[in-house]
Amino acid sequence: MKLRHYHHHLLLLLLCCSFTETIEPISTSIAVGVAAALTGFLARYQNIFHYFQECCRPEWISFNKTALQADLESKLFGQHVASRIILKAVNGFMTNDNPKKPLVLSLHGWTGTGKNFVSGLIADSVYKEGMDSRFVHVFTSELHFPHASQIDNYKSQLQQWIKGNVTNCERSMFIFDEMDKMHPGLIDSIKPYLDYYDKLDGVSYRKAIFIFLSNAGGDSIIQTALDFWKEGRNREEMELKDLETSLSLSVFNNKKSGLWHTSLIDKNLVDFFVPFLPLEYCHVVQCALSAMADRELEPDLKVADQVARDLVYFPKSERIFSVKGCKTIDSKLDYYT
Ligand SMILES: Nc1ncnc2c1ncn2[C@@H]1O[C@H](COP(=O)(O)OP(=O)(O)OP(=O)(O)O)[C@@H](O)[C@H]1O
Ligand SMILES: *[C@@H]1O[C@H](CO)[C@@H](O)[C@H](O)[C@H]1NC(C)=O
Ligand SMILES: *[C@@H]1O[C@H](CO)[C@@H](O)[C@H](O)[C@H]1NC(C)=O
Ligand SMILES: [Mg+2]
């Protein structure tokens, strides 16, 4: 036993000696090697935990323009105007190292036209974890701020949340769903964060992204789309300028929409108003086909056509636009397949 042990050591010594004189430098160089490797590793992922757990660093947060462009082209149907604005706006903002204010997008349009869906695509292109990221926050008036009587509590709570989250990570994203149902006072309370301030109480909000979703202005967008259709013009010819005036007027003048009361608009805090067009039969077919693909089903045009034909369209006489957009398509598939 002992002899064998001794032999083993000798063998090791011989082996080592063919490279260096003594054992000492070897163990030292191994130590140095290990240390170097470790330092290299740690330098890359300064804290090893950041490798496994999401943190506010480029490993987890970095904008991929190619991915956003590809997603907008292949997954979003019938929204050529919105698609163009969003790609330009997000790319411009994310590639600017020193933005003067946070990015504020206001998405408008009829129900089921893809406003929440696009917010998800934007989140996917910025955060590795997409909508599941702990730096993406979604507020819904009915869920987070249901009681008008508690508005003062909500105000200070919301301000604390925004401040706290941006202090944790300047690349935070805040999505306000159903903005038109939001109490005007609540919208007013977040106004300072959207403005051109270098810092507020030592916190800079200039790298944050705010996205407002609402149906406000949806009617005027539909009217413009309908006018195009009646004139026999191609939907794809529609440009932002065709929609912009009527959109801002209707958002402005609609006393029911919270935006109307606030100075979000007159202080130019919203960088882009993004119109979402009502969806037509052919877009619904595309939605059905992609819902099948998501379920790893064989795309079946017959089924997609059936799903689309069974939806309700408006105006009653012409039956052009889907009343629910592409909403409920996914659940309808259960019924048809
Ligand atoms: N333009 C679109 N292209 C592709 N899919 C769409 C589109 N619009 C809607 N969808 C599909 O329909 C679902 C519902 O759409 P979404 O929730 O984005 O509608 P919305 O505009 O937010 O409506 P609402 O105003 O009622 O909240 C999405 O998850 C998506 O699967
Ligand atoms: C960006 O997205 C594209 C398409 O999804 C992908 O091929 C590419 O690897 C991504 N780039 C980076 C740097 O992650
Ligand atoms: C961040 O926002 C969430 C709501 O999305 C809130 O629950 C949380 O307390 C906020 N974090 C901080 C540090 O304020
Ligand atoms: Mg929605």
Per-residue model confidence as pLDDT tens for the chain (337 residues): 444 444 444 333 333 333 333 445 566 677 777 777 777 766 666 666 667 789 999 999 999 999 999 999 999 999 999 999 999 999 999 999 999 999 999 999 999 999 999 999 999 999 999 999 999 999 999 999 999 999 999 999 999 999 999 999 999 999 999 988 888 889 889 999 999 999 999 999 999 999 999 998 899 999 999 999 999 999 999 999 999 877 776 776 666 665 655 667 777 899 999 999 999 999 999 999 999 999 999 999 999 999 999 999 999 999 999 999 999 999 888 888 7
Separation of CA 166 and ligand 3 centre (Å)? 10
Tell me which residue has its CA closest to atom 13 in ligand 3: 164
The rounded distance, in Å, linking the Cα atoms of 93 and 96 is 5
Query: Do residues 163 and 198 touch, judged by C-beta distance below 8 A?
Result: no
Nearest-atom number in ligand 3 for the CA of 137 is 5
Which of the listed residues 79, 138, 178, 287 should we mutate to test ligand 1's pocket, taking the one with most ligand atoms within 8 A of CB? 287
Q: Indicate which ligand has the atom closest to the C-alpha of 109.
A: 1
**Three-state secondary-structure class, residue 185:** helix
Residues with CB under 6 A from ligand 2: 64, 66-67, 70
ω before 315 within 30° of 0 (cis)?
A: yes
Cα distances (angstroms) measured from residue 195 to each of 6, 74, 103, 136, 311: 77, 34, 10, 20, 43
Helix extents (H) in the chain: 2-17, 23-44, 48-52, 65-75, 80-94, 115-126, 141-144, 151-168, 184-194, 218-230, 240-253, 258-261, 281-294, 301-309, 329-336
In degrees and rounded to multiples of 5, residue 50 shows phi and psi of -65, -20
Tell me which residue has its CA closest to atom 14 in ligand 2: 64
The Cα diameter of the chain in Å comes to 101
Separation of CA 238 and ligand 1 centre (Å)? 20
Q: Indicate which ligand has the atom closest to the C-alpha of 118.
A: 1
The rounded distance, in Å, linking the Cα atoms of 258 and 251 is 9
* Binding-site sequence positions: 109-116
Nearest Cα residue to 211 out of 124, 136, 320, 311? 136
Query: Do residues 180 and 258 touch, judged by C-beta distance below 8 A?
Result: yes
Nearest Cα residue to 321 out of 222, 248, 187, 239? 222
Return the sign of the alpha-carbon dihedral for residues 235, 240, 241, 246: positive
DSSP for 75-120 reads: H--S-HHHHHHHHHHHHHHHT-SS-SS-EEEEEEESTTSSHHHHHH
Residues with CB under 6 A from ligand 1: 76-79, 109, 111-117, 213, 215, 279, 287, 325-327
Residues with CB under 6 A from ligand 3: 137, 160-161, 164-165, 168
Residues 6+ apart with CB under 8 A from 321: 110, 222, 225, 226, 278, 279, 280, 313, 314
Residue 216, pLDDT score: 87
The rounded distance, in Å, linking the Cα atoms of 2 and 9 is 11
Residue 326, pLDDT score: 97
Residue 36, pLDDT score: 77
Which of the listed residues 60, 65, 66 should we mutate to test ligand 2's pocket, taking the one with most ligand atoms within 8 A of CB? 66
The pTM for the full model equals: 0.86
H/E run at residue 137? strand 136-140
The rounded distance, in Å, linking the Cα atoms of 172 and 89 is 16
Residue with tokens 């997954």: 75
Query: Do residues 94 and 63 touch, judged by C-beta distance below 8 A?
Result: yes
